[in-house]
Amino acid sequence: MPGKGFRTPGLESFVDNLDEFKLERSTEVLIQLLARRQISGSKNCAIAVAGLLLRIVQDSPANSVQDLLDQVSQIGQRLIAAQPRELAVGNIVRRVLGLIREVSGIGQDDEIRSELSSMLDGQDGLNRPEMLHSISTYSPLRHAASEFTGASTPESPQPIKRPNFAQSGYSSFAMPSTKTAMNLFGLLAEPSYSPTGTPPITNRESPALSTKNLNIIQEQASIKETIQEIGDGMRELLDEVDLAAEQISESATDYINSNDMIMAQGLSDTTHKFLAEAARKRKFTVFVVEGEPNEGQATRNMILYGSAKSPSDDDGQEGTTKRLVDLGVNVVLIPDSAIFAIMSTVTKVLLAPQAVLANGGLVANVGTSMIAAAAQAHKVPVLALSGVYKLSPLYPLDTDELREIGSASGLGGSVGSWGKVNVMNPMWDYVEPEKVNLYITNLGGHAPSYLYRIVADHYDKEDINLGTDM
Amino acid sequence: MPAHSQKPEDEHDDPLQAVILTDCHENRFMPLTMQTPRCLLNLANIPLIDYTLHFLASAGVEHVYIVTSHFHEEVESHLETAGWNNDNSHFSRIECIRSQSESVGGVMRDLDQYGVLKNDFVVVYGDLISNLPLEEALSAHKKRREADKDAIMTMVLRESGTGSDSRREKAPVFVIDPKNDRCVHYEDMSPDKKEHFVSLDPDLLHDHQDMDIRADLIDCEVDIYTPDVLALWTDNFDFQTARQNFLYSVLKDYELNGKKIFTHVTTDYYAARARNLREYDTISKAIIERWVYPWTPDNNLCFGYNYQMTKGFRYKELDVRLARSCQIGPKTMIGNDTSAGEGTVIIGSVVGRRCIIGNNVTIENAYIWDDTVIRDGSHIKQAIVAKGCTIGKKCIIEPGALIATGVQVADNTTVKSSSRLTCIKRKRDDSGDFEPVTTDTKVVGVGGKGTEYSPDPDDEDEEDASLPHGLVYNLSHLTFSTESFSDPDDSFSDTSDIDPSQGRRNSTAGSIISLASDDDTSASERKSEIAFHNEAVAQLTDSLAKGDASDNMQLELTSLRMVTQASEHAMRRAIVASFMRHISSLVSDGTSIASAVTSTIKPHQALLNRNIFDKEKASKVDQVDLLLLLQSDLSKRLDGDAILLRVTHELVNLDVVEAEGIEQWWNDERSVASKEVTRLREKTRQLVDYLLRDSSEDEDDEDEDESD
């Protein structure tokens, strides 16, 4: 008889089986889980993808970094194709690719680097990096092509020392509490130019390679070391994803004042933590917008039980987090239709994006656009809470394509209406950058217009068009 | 076929197992299912079974056993190409089991013998489309199971809510104790039944304080079984169907077996089975309209698809070539490599891959499968055009038409709404092979290929096939027998298109209706009679072929009869049908008629005798009935007249039928009801004359008065 109990596949079972299954099977399983939406939400997707890629890197039989890059980008493209609208998947893949390039030192674009170094030299704030001079022609759906081309890699990469971001004076990277661990580039800046980071097949002329006495054994060892480093970097990335919400909440008291009237779109994990942290020092009121039809139940449960799932009758387990009401917050649940009416009394709006785009726009649960518009009309500041892992290097050229159209039965269709009534249930909304005042990330607060810069810092230009038909 | 020789990495102690029944022992998709099993038919351009497999995969099933019968190889090769059984599949084991059984009961007994299902497992059909999460049902089942060993089964049901589709095939009535979700009674209530009632055991009222009597549940036959259920199937060898027989009887005999069956009712999510073309149509639309999310085309769950959705539920794959003036209406799906010419309009339709659609073609609410060519100016509405067909220029395909694989319709042809065109048919020998049909130019035009499909008269199972009309909403063209529809009201005629008994009745009106003497039998009783008939005939034919003893046959027949409460008439009909089938198969194998008849009837004299109850009476109703049945059955067979003579002779010789019986039959007006039957009995005239002379000496005529 079953002892372990039946478990529906999801993030939990995937992570548990990750070490057990063969790599190819894990990949296949993750693709299916993403496609079946059994892993959804940017955080879950990010954790799953990072977990898989970490395994790839660790198990990699690749005897060159280039092989590893190819492998990661190939699997990455399949993952992106499985759920092209979940931008976190692509973000993680791109960041891992960037990390591999970073550690191994291949694929660096001299143009950028020279520009960066010139900037560093002159400390000229107006001289901006031009990492995104080719704007991605983003179309998530175009990812769905079943054939994949390997990531394009430059023919002859020029080895130029990557500037050490940790020292470069970018305020956004220097989170006091977590030092360089915050940022993977900063973290990796130090070892990135060790002589061991030499891929055998690239004909780069680094001083290390040009010394002819490197033999094959050393090369193998160096790859091992490189992979070790990449693995470390990826674990940092996983930590970043995991801790983003907490790190964001650390700055809560900077943004929330006593007697604030805050409107929150749903109570996501991040929003909840943020408000809970603020509640320790401040007294304020939160109007929680229900977020029907897709998020309504989760929002209500979050308010009532402190967890998105209602404590099912069998385990009777209370949510691990404390409810906001218990923390002394005055919580008011309002239906989506009351947004505009309430907005006049609100002092701040908190959004919880699903993804943030390079132009400063965001994608969030449906209804967010309405809140943002109402806030704009009432001149209420809009804050968006988002981990950096949600920040995508893509530009929204077709905002329709960003939207996931969900289940028609989500709107409570009965059997009788199957096939008779047309029901549209878009799950997400796109909010233009003009409607957002401030992004609060784990790196601090940024204006929407500044996001391109963070994008440039976190993604390698090579990878931005990953998976698109370029 | 073990898919994986070694996979120690996946072996849990108790992997969740599932069984998919692919052959549903009915052929409502004929002639589309002639060469392809139903589970491999494309629905929204994806084979049906893929939906089922995804459903199971999403529920966390690890081992899947697919029960196949006729199309074993096809199913296996599909699993191969779709990547279900490679090393990276979601299922650590996926296995096809071939079963020759003709019923669900048989399959279950085979599975019990097979002995692989050691844990609780899920049973579904290969045409299930659902996004139901099974998690809750499974854990509830497990919990009950731990508390009570007799909780053997959980049925997952979907509440239909208000405004539900009244055109359901069956209205199953579940009586559920709301306190613990236990199902205490089940009855199949046909919508066409005149009296709507459920007969409850008074004890139930005593045992259960509350009972919900629910007819609003959609039963997609998603069940969670414990291995005990298989044992129960084996113990009750007469159970044929999962609901009507098994569920009904197990619940009824609770006192005896103590087994409890539970339900799990969900109010959300989509669940449906593509049981007939009508449902095929509804489900296709539901998928396109995203009721079955995330099972939507643009999620490309299956390998190798790349659909994208644009506004208005228009789905296209990457490589679709549309002319500039071509209009693609809402709710349309078009597969890869398909092209459509200038002025073509496609609305609410599904078009497969690699189709070529000419200029000024109109396709509305139709299903065009892969590799079909539609030439300029044709109109297709509410029809199914299967794989690899060619529709000529300026053809009109009327609503409801079915065009099976490979048919070619010549230019300027109109395909009538009731047509079912095919270009192959099953060979007369029982090899299961197919042969091309002779083209009927009246149907497909000069230069076309194909003919009207006619259900094989030998094969009772296929008579359900008259249902494909279900695709069409307007059913006015169907002529229903007035006997079964004495007072049709609106909802009633709505249901009619999918009721198997009516469908069947339609096609075999000659044989059943004309002989059914009891006008007051309600349609549903007839339905169960038909079910009984099909099962009994299958069983008997089997036994005859195997040469079982007469006693065993009688036993089986009786138990089957008990279950379905069939009449004596139905018993006799089943016997006649199976015996005659056996005889004609012997004859076609080269045995002489005389010896075929003797070898069949003589050993089973007792069986026949036991179903004749009027030996002592003056009016030989039963004997007349038997002979009439013989006559009508044989009228459809080759050399029927000769066989009739032999059989009659044999029956008289064995004293199964007395001379008086023969005489009453001969004088009965029903025996000359139609030209065919009259012609048939001509050869027997001699015998009758002889017998009459024989018996008239001591018998007074008492004929005529026994007819109704």
Q: What's the confidence (pLDDT) of residue A221?
A: 74
Say which of A2, A27, A415 has its CB closest to residue B218.
A415
Is the pLDDT at B154 greater than 50, yes or no? yes
Average pLDDT over residues B671-684: 75
Q: What's the confidence (pLDDT) of residue A363?
A: 93
Using the beta-carbon criterion (under 8 Å), do A419 and B282 form an inter-chain contact?
A: yes
Which CA distances in Å does B698 have to A132, A277, B614, B693, B694?
113, 110, 19, 10, 9
User: How far B18 CA lies from chain A's nearest CA (Å)?
Assistant: 13
Highest CATH level, class, for B1-131+271-305: alpha beta
Contact A327, A276 (CB under 8 A): yes
Average pLDDT over residues A208-237: 73
- The Cα B358–Cα B372 span in angstroms is 11
- A interface mutation test: which of B46, B300, B302 has the most A CBs within 10 A? B300
The yes/no answer to whether this complex scores an ipTM above 0.95 is no
Chain B residues close to A21, C-beta within 8 Å: 9-10
Using the beta-carbon criterion (under 8 Å), do A9 and B307 form an inter-chain contact?
A: no
The CA dihedral of B444, B449, B455, B456, to the nearest 10 degrees, is 140
- The Cα B48–Cα B351 span in angstroms is 16
Mean pLDDT of chain A: 75
Residue of higher predicted confidence among B472 and B695: B695
Q: What's the confidence (pLDDT) of residue B686?
A: 77
Is the pLDDT at B480 greater than 60, yes or no? no
Q: What's the confidence (pLDDT) of residue A255?
A: 93
Average pLDDT over residues B218-224: 86
Q: What's the confidence (pLDDT) of residue A216?
A: 64
Q: What's the confidence (pLDDT) of residue B573?
A: 83
Is B119 at the interface with chain A, CB within 8 A? yes
CATH fit for domain B508-695, picks 2.40.110.10, 3.40.50.10190, 2.60.120.200, 1.25.40.180: 1.25.40.180
Q: How confident is the model at residue B318 (pLDDT cuts 50, 70, 90)?
A: confident
Is B160 at the interface with chain A, CB within 8 A? yes
Is the pLDDT at B359 greater than 80, yes or no? yes
Q: What's the confidence (pLDDT) of residue A350?
A: 94
Is the pLDDT at A284 greater than 90, yes or no? yes
Is the pLDDT at B367 greater than 90, yes or no? yes
**Block residue for tokens 């239906």:** A335
Contact B57, B86 (CB under 8 A): no
Q: What's the confidence (pLDDT) of residue A399?
A: 80
User: How far B50 CA lies from chain A's nearest CA (Å)?
Assistant: 13
- The Cα A425–Cα A293 span in angstroms is 8
Is the pLDDT at B488 greater than 70, yes or no? no
Which of A1-15, A39-53, B194-208 holds the top average pLDDT?
A: A39-53
Q: What's the confidence (pLDDT) of residue A110?
A: 47
Is the pLDDT at A376 greater than 90, yes or no? yes
Q: What's the confidence (pLDDT) of residue B313?
A: 87
User: How far B439 CA lies from chain A's nearest CA (Å)?
Assistant: 38
Is the pLDDT at A459 greater than 80, yes or no? yes
Long-range Cβ pairs for the range A28-32 (8 Å, 24+):
A28/B88, A28/B89, A28/B90, A29/B88, A29/B90, A30/A79, A30/A82, A31/A78, A31/A79, A31/A82, A32/A82, A32/B57, A32/B90, A32/B301
Pick the range with the lowest mean pLDDT from A328-332, B449-453, B509-513, B555-559.
B509-513
Residue of higher predicted confidence among A115 and B496: A115
Q: How confident is the model at residue B522 (pLDDT cuts 50, 70, 90)?
A: low
Q: What's the confidence (pLDDT) of residue B163?
A: 52
Contact A79, A93 (CB under 8 A): yes
Chain A residues close to B293, C-beta within 8 Å: 37, 405-410
Q: What's the confidence (pLDDT) of residue B105?
A: 84
Average pLDDT over residues B422-432: 71
Set out the domains of chain A in order of their start, with CATH numbers: 11-244 (no CATH), 248-464 (3.40.50.10470)
Nearest to B563 by CA among B236, B256, B109, B258: B236
Using the beta-carbon criterion (under 8 Å), do B163 and A417 form an inter-chain contact?
A: yes
Is the pLDDT at B135 greater than 90, yes or no? no
Q: How confident is the model at residue A289 (pLDDT cuts 50, 70, 90)?
A: very high
Residue B143 sits at φ, ψ, to 5 deg, of -65, -45
Is the pLDDT at A378 greater than 90, yes or no? yes
pLDDT tens readout for residues B263-302: 998 887 888 888 888 888 888 888 888 888 888 888 888 8
Mean pLDDT of chain B: 77
Q: What's the confidence (pLDDT) of residue A312?
A: 56
pLDDT tens readout for residues B5-21: 333 334 456 788 899 98
User: How far B109 CA lies from chain A's nearest CA (Å)?
Assistant: 21
Say which of B120, B158, B299 has its CB closest to residue A35.
B299
Beta-sheet pairing, B373-374 with A348-351: unpaired
CATH fit for domain B311-452, picks 2.160.10.10, 2.40.10.10, 1.10.10.10, 2.40.240.20: 2.160.10.10
Is the pLDDT at B466 greater than 60, yes or no? no
Average pLDDT over residues B551-558: 80
Give percent of chain B with pLDDT exceeding 70.
82
Nearest to B156 by CA among B218, B67, B65: B218
Q: What's the confidence (pLDDT) of residue B166?
A: 47
Q: What's the confidence (pLDDT) of residue A107?
A: 52
Q: How confident is the model at residue A180 (pLDDT cuts 50, 70, 90)?
A: very low
- B interface mutation test: which of A86, A139, A415 has the most B CBs within 10 A? A415
Q: CATH 1.25.40.180 in chain B, residues? A: 508-695
Q: What's the confidence (pLDDT) of residue B444?
A: 83
Is the pLDDT at A456 greater than 50, yes or no? yes
Q: Which residues of B351-386 are buried (b: 16+ CB within 10 A; e: fewer)?
A: bbbebbbbbbbbbbbbbbbbbbbbbbbbbbbbbbbb
Q: CATH 3.90.550.10 in chain B, residues? A: 1-131+271-305
Would you state the structure tokens that stand for residue B502, as one six-digit string?
A: 């009516």
Pick the range with the lowest mean pLDDT from A43-47, A304-308, A325-329, A410-414.
A410-414
Nearest to B218 by CA among B153, B132, B277, B287: B132
pLDDT tens readout for residues B45-55: 899 899 999 89
Chain B residues close to A405, C-beta within 8 Å: 290, 293, 296, 309
Is the pLDDT at B259 greater than 50, yes or no? yes
Which of B376-385, B499-508, B596-605, B682-691 holds the top average pLDDT?
A: B376-385
Average pLDDT over residues A427-445: 92
Is the pLDDT at B363 greater than 60, yes or no? yes
Q: What's the confidence (pLDDT) of residue B59?
A: 87
Cα B540 to chain centroid, rounded:
19
Q: What's the confidence (pLDDT) of residue B168?
A: 53
